[in-house]
């Protein structure tokens, strides 16, 4: 028969073993959960890390310019604290049927992952400028989580309403349409900080004069590259009137795009201004 001391020791050992099992269970569960959480990278590395994301970016990220890199499941961007918006934001589009997409639901809010603090809704309030999406809500409509993530203020840039709701919106719609007719599209978009026309709010959010989009289209084992440079103003012209080479955008922004491509292929793609393969 066990003595009282032996019984007490047995209880303590049993409780300890239970505690160890619970600890490792919770630890394992937490590590599994961390895979799907937004990840933050506060350095100048442009290497894309692995995740369980089905919409992985196919290349190394553009150059960081020394700013904070934030990688979400749905897109990645370089946040410029001086201008309170991204230098660039990169995402991939796949041909997903409209019937599988979610409806737009506005949820503008500050970005908790920006270590220096993102722009706020108050910065834009009564400014006369729209909160212009860089990664479009429509492009992020393949899930409720992606749609919601597109409304962080770190994804916004001050745009003149007639620009945001006009030619910029039309170009976004064309890119979305093109994604339905392609294997995939890789898009990097952002403002050009070389010329600032205004600033708004307590955080002095810069209002850029120009915006760019660079696109790689993947179709039947062939890659096509093209750039667009648009002025932040109303325009009745076709977006194809604003086609430029990706090279010219690199020179204007100081950003090096598509660095992981073979040098000869990169040169060909980034010098192209023929938009024939982007019409359909």
Specify whether 133 is catalytic: yes
Residue showing tokens 């349409």: 177
Q: Can you name the residues that pair with 263 across neighbouring β-strands?
A: none
Using an 8 Å Cβ cutoff, are 168 and 159 in contact?
Answer: yes
Distances (CA, A) of 144 to 35, 100, 107, 141, 148: 18, 11, 11, 7, 6
Q: What is the dihedral of CA 144, 45, 86, 279, to 10 degrees?
A: -70
Q: Can you name the residues that pair with 226 across neighbouring β-strands?
A: 215
Residue showing tokens 């809500």: 137
Q: Who contacts 99 (Cβ-Cβ below 8 Å, separation ≥6)?
A: none
Q: What is the DSSP string of 59-121?
A: SPPPP-TTPEEEE-SS-EEEEETTTTEEEEEEEEE----GGGSPPP----B--TT-TT----H
Q: Which of 72, 83, 131, 133 is catalytic?
A: 133
Packing angle, helices 263-271 and 246-253, rounded to 10: 90
Distances (CA, A) of 275 to 98, 135, 244: 25, 22, 9
- Please state the length of the chain: 280
Report, as residue numbers or ranges, the catalytic residues.
Answer: 133
């Amino acid at each position: 028969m066990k003595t009282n001391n032996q019984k007490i020791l047995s209880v303590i050992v049993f409780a300890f073993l239970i505690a160890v099992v619970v600890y490792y269970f919770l630890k394992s569960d937490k590590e599994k959960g961390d895979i799907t959480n937004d990840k933050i990278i506060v350095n100048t590395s442009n290497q894309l890390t692995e995740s369980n994301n089905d919409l992985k970016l196919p290349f190394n990220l553009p150059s960081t310019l020394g700013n904070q890199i934030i990688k979400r499941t749905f897109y990645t961007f370089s946040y410029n604290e001086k201008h309170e918006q991204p230098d660039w934001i990169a995402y991939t589009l796949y041909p997903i049927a409209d019937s599988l997409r979610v409806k737009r639901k506005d949820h503008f809010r500050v970005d908790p992952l920006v270590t220096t603090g993102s722009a706020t809704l108050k910065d834009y309030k009564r400014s006369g400028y729209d909160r212009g999406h860089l990664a479009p809500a429509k492009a992020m409509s393949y899930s409720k989580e992606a749609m919601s993530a597109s409304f962080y203020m770190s994804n916004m840039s001050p745009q003149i309403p007639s620009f945001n709701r006009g030619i910029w919106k039309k170009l976004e719609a064309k890119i979305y349409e093109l994604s339905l007719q392609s294997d995939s599209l890789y898009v990097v978009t952002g403002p050009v900080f070389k010329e600032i026309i205004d600033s708004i709010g307590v955080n002095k959010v810069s209002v850029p004069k120009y915006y760019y989009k660079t696109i790689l289209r993947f179709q039947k084992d062939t890659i096509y590259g093209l750039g667009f440079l648009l002025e932040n103003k109303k325009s009745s012209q076709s977006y194809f009137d604003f086609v430029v080479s990706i090279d010219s955008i690199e020179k204007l922004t100081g950003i090096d795009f598509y660095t992981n491509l073979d040098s000869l292929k990169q040169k060909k793609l980034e010098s192209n201004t023929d938009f024939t393969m982007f019409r359909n």
